[in-house]
Structure 1
Amino acid sequence: MSEEVIPVDHLITLADLLFKLSNETDKSNTTEQILQIVKENDMAPYYEYLTENYSNSFKRDAQLVSELQKKNEEKHKELKDKLADVEENFGENEVREALLSIAEYHHKIGDKEKALEAYRQTTEKTVALGQRLDIVFAIQRIGFSWLDMDLLRRNIEKAKSMIEEGGDWERRNRLKVYEGLYLLIVRNFKGAASLFLESIATFSSSELLSYERFVFYTIIVSMISLERPEMKKRVVDSSDILSVVGKIPHAADYLNSLYNCQYRDFLVALVDITDEMKKDRFLSRHVHHYSREMRIRAYSQFLESYKSVTLSSTADQFGLGVIFLDQELSRFISAGRLNAKIDKVGGIIETNRPDAKNAMYQQVIKHGDQLLNRIQKLTRVVDL
């Protein structure tokens, strides 16, 4: 992890606080936090957005609006005057810096559309690849702040294309974190896990999220994506993860209980960890899906050790009632998610492991038939 810690972009912090606000009963403390950030950054456009879209929590204060708008107008005039001066008296690099200052100010006060337009104008005056990439990262942070998925998708693809032109090592690592977070949001957990694990030792994207939050995301996506041996090597024994996992609520219990086959403890930890996910703006949408998939993973891991096992002993291992377990396993089996069948008369679960060698043999036969058919068609064409 980089020693330099840049604060998380305040637009992302505000978006997280608004999500928290929507799930709270007592909203006064969070409301005050949001207003403090708005006032500290003179965010007149963002304050207008709050009063229009969260009117139950933010009543329009005409005096505050007037004060913020006055500060914005004064700063805009200062920046525009500076731009006019450098356009007349200086070179392209100074013009570019003046345009960037305007873009960053619109970004700061939460004026999304003007910020995007100003960043576009700055890009047109920017030659250096690294500086153009920094602008794309800034636009991506706007996308994460407003959850503008189209904006994110387009600019992640743009950044990947630019990196291929010769982006430096630090920006390559930053892009992995940005792209990984996008993949997490769109539920591509395997892709997110791969990118997060590649960048965990060199994390330098503190402007996007804190390192602890990044490790939390890494654990979440790795648990659902990695096979057990890889999980042990890359997550359970990772010094980078071990250094902070104790600071993340329930993460250590969740991570270790499944690997150590402590299934009763795992289900308790899963409930705790999904409660934490519900509090997260990016993870909350995945809670139901994630909980189901992790239960399937735990059942599969347990059943792999047996050719047959009683329902009662399985229920005891997981700390569940026999009836509930029977219903849950039946649902997963009928959906083709578990390779097993239940003998209700005998109260036994019989595993039905797929024969990997037989499956491979059938696959070879299938591809062989396709190849022969193509050769026959080719032969007829050649004969003609």
Structure 2
Amino acid sequence: MDRAGEDGKQEPHLVLAHKLFLLSHPDVDDPAKVDLRADVLAAVKSDDLAALYESLAADGVLEMDAALLAEMRARIDEEIRKLDENNNLVLELTEFVIYALQGDITVKSLEKALEQLKVTEGKTVAVGQKMDLVFYTLQIGFFYMDFDLISKSIDKAKNLFEEGGDWERKNRLKVYEGLYCMATRNFKKAASLFLDSISTFTTYELFTYDTFIFYTVLTSAISLDRVSLKQKVVDAPEILAVIGKVPHLSEFLNSLYNCQYKSFFIAFSGLTEQIKLDRYLQPHFRYYMREVRTVVYSQFLESYKSVTMEAMAAAFGVTVDFIDQELSRFIAAGKLHCKIDKVAGVLETNRPDARNAFYQATIKQGDFLLNRIQKLSRVIDL
């Protein structure tokens, strides 16, 4: 059995995880879910995922077939018996061990899978092989979306690198950590890690290169300033070579940078469906929608001391009432530095002066320090 990822294919259990996510998604229509159920059942039969089959049948996603379940459990018991017989050997990452571990990911509990990984790791000497086991643990974490397991595994991988390790694995870890950051809403760090990995990307076991570019552009759009966005994303050859393959992504990026706001909103609306149907991005859909609109509104207002709401509405291809409601929410939340003159129909920017803000922060910290010193002096006097 070939390891997924080495030949540019996504790990089968991560493909399965995405299909299970789509099966539970309210925006996926019933005909599509019929095909998804067929795919999930085929995956269950192919890898004898008995526990998952029982769980899905209990939830009404699949129909229970007692004979099928018994057959799968019999084959699982045989695989476990073979693995137990080999436990007295120093197991390396052979095709057999990978197959056994892959079965453990969804055949049995998460704890059992991790237990088997520890057994194998204890009999593995080479740092590179230990790193491969950590990567496999990370994949288990992404299957279950267990962020605690992912975080601990990333820390473990970094500690292993202090013992050695090759650049290829270090670069792979950046993508794993970037995906973790994106899935936990740390978009700025995710963008940085993804951008560092553009020219060295090899983690096809997680997702395709097209998907990687999709994530890189989305996270960069709300994390980088305009100059950095131009240098690292808009003009990046690796991104230019792929961005056209992802619907609406090129228009989204270029219209944002070129201040073509009407085109930007059209392109962004085309991307929303893809964001909602992504298992890592969907939990942050509303947050991302707010952040990207904050970026684009701020970029527009930076060019003006004051501007009419009618002109701004025309630039974005929306109504004045829409702009009024939108900006009111963002201003109230402290996301935009401007005020609305409803009578004159004008927006007036009041961007904070950086030097004055630093001065105020220094005064505040100084007051805090003096208060602490006074309290300490009273204690000493006592």
TM-score by length of 1: 0.88
What is the CA distance between 1:66 and its match in structure 2?
2.3
Task: Identify the match of residue 312 of structure 1 among 292, 310, 313.
Answer: 310
> Deviations for 1:3-39, whole angstroms, at most 9, x for unmatched residues?
9534211111111001111223222111111112222
Deviations 1:130-185 (A, max 9, x none): 11111111011011001112211221221122223322211111111111111111
| Native 8 Å contact 2:48 2:103 kept in 1 | no
The question of 1:338 aligning with 2:340 is answered: no
Contact 2:11 2:206 in 1 (8 A): yes
For the pair 1:73 / 2:70, whether they are aligned, the reply is no
Give the 5 Å matches for 1:226-237.
226-237=224-235
* Matching residue of 1:382: none
State the alpha-carbon separation in 2 of the partners of residues 205 and 96 from structure 1. Answer: 18
* 8 A Cα contact 1:264 1:318, kept in partner: yes
Partner of 1:269: 267
How many Å separate the matches in 1 of 2:330 and 2:133?
46
Equivalent pair of 2:91/2:120 in contact (CA under 8 Å): no
Cα drift, residue 375 of structure 1: 10
The reply to whether residue 41 of structure 1 matches residue 47 of structure 2 is yes
Query: C-alpha displacement at 1:371, in angstroms?
Result: 8.2
Residue 52 (structure 1) aligned with residue 58 (structure 2)? yes
Give 1:95 shift.
7.6
User: What SS does structure 2 have at the residue aligned with 1:150?
Assistant: helix
Per mean C-alpha deviation after superposition, the further-off stretch among 264-273 and 10-19 is: 264-273
> Structure 1 residue 361: deviation in Å?
4.2
Specify every segment of 5 or more residues in structure 1 that has no aligned partner in the other structure, as ranges: 380-384
Give, in angstroms, the shift of residue 67 of structure 1.
2.3
CA contact (8 A) 1:333 1:339 kept: yes
Contact map agreement 2:91 2:123 (CA 8 A) in 1: no
Residue matched to 1:28: 34
Query: C-alpha distance in 2, partners of 1:371/1:62?
Result: 71
- Quote the residue 2:200 is aligned against: 202
Q: Distance in 2 between matches of 1:105 and 1:18?
A: 17
Question: Alpha-carbon deviation of 1:48?
Answer: 2.2
The answer for the alignment partner of 1:117 in structure 2 is: 115
Q: Which of 168, 176, 198 is equivalent to 2:174?
A: 176
Determine the C-alpha separation between the residues in 1 that align with 2:64 and 2:9: 29
Given the superposition, is the C-alpha separation of residues 369 and 293 from structure 1 closer, same or farther in structure 2, using an over 3 Å criterion? same
Contact 2:44–2:52, Cα closer than 8 Å, also in 1:
yes
The normalised TM-score by structure 2 is: 0.89
Secondary structure of the corresponding residue to residue 191 of structure 1: helix
Q: Give the aligned residue type for 1:117.
A: E
Quote the Cα distance in structure 2 between the aligned partners of 1:365 and 1:272.
47
Distance 1:180 1:46 in 2: 28
Match for residue 147 of structure 2 among 139, 149, 162: 149
Asked if residue 61 in structure 1 is aligned to residue 65 in structure 2, the reply is yes
SS of residue matched to 1:350: strand
Q: Aligned partners of 2:279, 2:373: CA distance in 1, in Å?
A: 55
Q: Percent identity?
A: 49
The number of aligned residues is 372
Distance 2:80 2:236 in 1: 48
| Worse-superposed segment, 106-115 or 153-162 | 106-115
Instruction: Report the more deviating stretch, 310-319 or 270-279.
Output: 270-279
Is 2:49–2:103's contact at 8 Å kept on the other side of the alignment? Answer: no
> Is contact 1:50-1:58 (8 Å) kept?
yes
Identify if the C-alpha distance between structure 1 residues 22 and 364 changes in structure 2 by more than 3 Å, giving closer, same or farther: closer
Q: 1:355 aligns with which of 347, 353, 356?
A: 353
| Within-5 A mapping of 1:121-132 | 121-132=119-130
1:107 matches 2:140: no
User: Counterpart amino acid of 2:49?
Assistant: M
| 1:316 positional shift | 0.4
In the other structure, the counterpart of 2:161 is 163
Residue 19 of structure 1 corresponds to: 21
CA RMSD, 1 decimal: 2.8
Any conservation in 1 of the 2:47–2:103 contact (CA below 8 Å)? no
Q: Deviations over 1:288-323 (max 9, x none)?
A: 111111111111100100111101010000111111
Among 290, 294, 297, the alignment partner of 1:296 is: 294
